[in-house]
Amino acid sequence: MKKCVQFLVGGFLLLSATVAVAQKKADILNEATPLIYLGVDFSKTKVINDIAATAYDIKNRHFPGINQVVIAEPKKFDWPKYLERGNITNDIEAVTAINEKIDEKSINSNSTADEKHLKEADIQGMVNKYDLSGKKGIGLVIIMEALSKTAEAASMYITFIDLSSKKVLYTERMVEKAGGFGFRNYYASTIYKAMQTIKKSKLKSWRSSFGS
Q: Rounded to whole angstroms, how far apart are CA atoms 135 and 31? A: 16
- Whether 126 is in a domain gets the answer yes
List, for residues 56-67, the tens digit of each pLDDT value: 999 999 999 999
Confidence tier at 18 by pLDDT (50, 70, 90):
very low
> Would residue 19 count as lying in a domain?
no
- pLDDT value, residue 153: 98
* pLDDT of 196 higher than 70: yes
Q: What is the pLDDT of residue 17?
A: 40
pLDDT in tens, 146-195: 999 999 999 999 999 999 999 999 999 999 999 999 999 999 999 999 99
43-71: string of b/e by CB count within 10 Å (b at 16+)? Answer: bbbbbbebeebeeeebbeebbbbbbebbe
pTM higher than the cut 0.75? yes
Q: Is residue 181 part of a domain?
A: yes
Domain of 72 in residue numbering reads as 24-210
119 burial (CB, 10 Å; 0-12 / 13-18 / 19+) is exposed
Number of domains making up the chain? 1
The pairing of strands 167-177 and 153-162 is antiparallel
In this prediction, residue 8 has a pLDDT band, given cuts at 50, 70 and 90, of very low
Is it the case that residue 94 has pLDDT exceeding 70? Answer: yes
Judged against a pLDDT cut of 60, whether residue 209 lies above it is answered with yes
36 in a domain, yes or no? yes
Q: Identify how many contiguous H helices and E strands the chain contains and give both numbers.
A: 8, 7
Average pLDDT, the chain: 92
SS3 134: coil
Pairing of strands 138-148, 35-41: parallel
Question: Would you state the pLDDT for residue 211?
Answer: 80
Each residue's pLDDT tens digit, 21-53 = 688 999 999 999 999 999 999 999 999 999 988
Is residue 15 domain-resident?
Answer: no
Nearest to residue 42, comparing CAs of 4, 68, 5, 24?
A: 68
With respect to residue 7, please indicate whether it lies within any of the assigned structural domains: no
**135 in a domain, yes or no?**
yes
Confidence (pLDDT) at 112: 97
pLDDT band at 126 (very low <50, low <70, confident <90, very high): very high
**Does 128 score more than 70 pLDDT?**
yes
Separation of alpha carbons 101 and 117, rounded Å: 20
Q: Is residue 14 part of a domain?
A: no
Residue 181: count of CB within 10 angstroms of its CB: 7
- Let me know: does 197 contact 174? Beta carbons within 8 Å: yes
